[in-house]
Chain A
């Protein structure tokens, strides 16, 4: 029996949604955020971040491929999950998942990557050998037309896809926020701000992860880091973080001021069971620290190497903070009783189906997939064929 403090309805003592459900919004958030960063260059013509364009798309794809896995592990009957495609219940935000996911994966991400890489794919389908050659030939869909006109068409269509992709990315992650925000039974979740907060924290986490990956991969490849690029990314991270933090503070202040029925119970929870994950990790370590660090880089003149270190620390603490935010929403929302008279505890297993070990493995898997994608579709313009670079100007 789990340690219960006070009174909980008998069926509430056991938590329904585990760390895997914390992981899911974290992963889709990274997808949405990475895509928004990519669209900064493609649609909003922020030239400085161009070196990270392809990497951002591949990162989004790697995380998107892993995203359904925590959900499958969590379901009581994963073999029935296809029912969401057969008979989606239109009143349920969760029913949207199958279609939004498929749409975003195929019609946005895969299509955009394909269009951007097509010249390279065609070249590689001729130059590669072994089974990778088969893969490239399959990816060409049988067309080897890389004339300037064809590439121009790719560019145009790609631009349209990105335009469609931005609201699609908002939808992909925003609906997750709505899944929580629309549950009137749970006052910790129920707020119209939830989808917006989720989305902005997603953008923050996505930018941070691409920034960190770019820094890491550049260092591994022993190439010089494009400082104007990384400075621009950090700046966008800073601005978005300000918006995200303001939204979260707005929610908090509103709750404290209105002090509705659930407030006392939630307040007690945040000060006791949720103190470490919420106050210390999410707010102090994961939000205030990176904002202050990034602000310092904007206000002070620091050397390149100092700035790089500050960005790295800010990026890592951002990711920890955004993960903590997902944890505090999902787990926090289940720690208190809907009678507002008691609290329970979350016992996370380790090597169980929904335990810490699968969560860790699922966090590592996207990086493994990304490694494969980077090998298959190199994002670096400093060693790709000249034709690909020239076509996208």
Chain B
């Protein structure tokens, strides 16, 4: 191009693009979240936001601090490794304010069956029974104490 006067319109087009690019860069600088890129290609603040979600299960340590008597019984029995809330459900609200929140009474028939109802896919070494054959349909806690479920025969200790 030896004369620029006939390519004025091309420069105008280029100007439109350059202005557009400038606006884009400016808007981008305004809108990208501040913490973005802090740890990687993501909003760094998200980690803190996700970590600060309230907890629903208190964790067995919280229970054990007050209910030491149950803990003693449980530790000596077969349910030693079963966490309190595994049966009693999420109770962080009770742990936070024990007086105001009373945990629900549990239905042994439903609860015990979930683990101990016989199923071919359960490991063979795991204690499982057919409820009707085993007890004729009476509630499990009639004979078994859930915190220490093994029935000790009379006279033995």
* Chains A and B touch each other in the complex, with CB atoms below 8 Å apart: yes
Q: Give the nearest-CB partner of B7 in chain A.
A: A153
Chain B residues within 8 Å of A147, by CB: 6
Q: Please report whether the interface of chain A is mostly helix, strand, loop or mixed according to DSSP.
A: helix
Quick one: which of B6, B16, B36, B41 contacts A150, CB cutoff 8 A?
B6
Chain A residues within 8 Å of B9, by CB: 118, 140-141, 143, 145, 150, 154
The reply on B12 being an interface residue by CB < 8 A is: yes
The reply on A250 being an interface residue by CB < 8 A is: no
Given A82-B31, A141-B13, residue A89 in contact with residue B7 (CB < 8 A): no
Q: Is the CB of A153 within 8 A of B13?
A: no
B13-51 residues at the A interface, CB under 8 angstroms: 13, 16-17, 20, 24, 28, 31-32, 36, 41
Q: Is the CB of A141 within 8 A of B16?
A: yes
| Interface residues as binary, A162-186 with B (CB distance below 8 Å gives 1, 0 otherwise) | 0000000000000000000000000
Q: Is the CB of B32 within 8 A of A87?
A: yes
Q: Is the CB of A153 within 8 A of B6?
A: yes
A130-156 residues at the B interface, CB under 8 angstroms: 140-143, 145, 147, 149-150, 153-154
Which of A106-114, A229-237, A366-374 is the interface stretch? A106-114
Q: Is the CB of A106 within 8 A of B17?
A: yes
Total interface residues in chain B, CB < 8 Å: 19
The reply on B1 being an interface residue by CB < 8 A is: yes
Given A147-B6, A153-B7, residue A114 in contact with residue B31 (CB < 8 A): no
| Interface residues as binary, A80-122 with B (CB distance below 8 Å gives 1, 0 otherwise) | 0010011101100000000000000011000100100010000
The reply on A157 being an interface residue by CB < 8 A is: yes
Chain B residues within 8 Å of A111, by CB: 13
Q: Is the CB of A157 within 8 A of B10?
A: yes
Q: Is the CB of A142 within 8 A of B12?
A: yes
Q: Is the CB of A86 within 8 A of B31?
A: yes
In the bound complex, how far is the Cα of B3 from the Cα of A186, in angstroms? 57
Q: Please report whether the interface of chain B is mostly helix, strand, loop or mixed according to DSSP.
A: helix
Quick one: which of A82, A87, A142, A157 contacts B41, CB cutoff 8 A?
A87
Chain B residues within 8 Å of A157, by CB: 10
The reply on B155 being an interface residue by CB < 8 A is: no
Q: Is the CB of B8 within 8 A of A87?
A: no
Instruction: Tell me, rounded to whole Å, the shortest Cβ–Cβ distance linking A150 to chain B.
Output: 4
In the bound complex, how far is the Cα of B10 from the Cα of A150, in angstroms? 9
| Interface residues as binary, A14-54 with B (CB distance below 8 Å gives 1, 0 otherwise) | 00000000000000000000000000000000000000000
Chain B residues within 8 Å of A82, by CB: 31
Q: Which of A86, A150, A154 has the most CB of B within 10 A?
A: A86
In the bound complex, how far is the Cα of B129 from the Cα of A18, in angstroms? 47
Q: Is the CB of A153 within 8 A of B1?
A: yes
Instruction: Tell me, rounded to whole Å, the shortest Cβ–Cβ distance linking B11 to chain A.
Output: 9
Q: Is the CB of B3 within 8 A of A85?
A: no
Q: Is the CB of A85 within 8 A of B28?
A: yes
Chain B residues within 8 Å of A141, by CB: 9, 12-13, 16
A281-334 residues at the B interface, CB under 8 angstroms: none
Q: Give the nearest-CB partner of B11 in chain A.
A: A143
Chain A residues within 8 Å of B8, by CB: 143, 145
Chain A residues within 8 Å of B28, by CB: 85-86
Instruction: Tell me, rounded to whole Å, the shortest Cβ–Cβ distance linking A26 to chain B.
Output: 29
In the bound complex, how far is the Cα of B3 from the Cα of A85, in angstroms? 38
Instruction: Tell me, rounded to whole Å, the shortest Cβ–Cβ distance linking A123 to chain B.
Output: 14
Q: Give the nearest-CB partner of B1 in chain A.
A: A153
Chain B residues within 8 Å of A153, by CB: 1, 6-7, 10
Q: Is the CB of B32 within 8 A of A114?
A: no
Q: Could you list some 28 contacts between A and B, CB below 8 A?
A: A85-B24, A86-B31, A86-B32, A87-B32, A87-B36, A89-B41, A107-B17, A111-B13, A114-B13, A118-B9, A140-B9, A141-B13, A141-B16, A142-B12, A143-B9, A143-B12, A145-B5, A145-B6, A145-B9, A147-B6, A150-B6, A150-B7, A150-B9, A153-B1, A153-B6, A153-B7, A154-B9, A157-B10
- Across chains A and B, which 4 residue pairs bring their CB atoms closest together, nearest first? A143-B9, A150-B6, A149-B6, A141-B12
Question: B-side interface residues toward A, CB under 8 Å?
Answer: 1, 3, 5-10, 12-13, 16-17, 20, 24, 28, 31-32, 36, 41
Question: A-side interface residues toward B, CB under 8 Å?
Answer: 82, 85-87, 89-90, 106-107, 111, 114, 118, 140-143, 145, 147, 149-150, 153-154, 157
| Besides the known contacts A87-B41, A143-B8, 4 further A-B residue pairs in the complex with CB atoms under 8 A apart | A86-B32, A89-B41, A145-B8, A153-B7
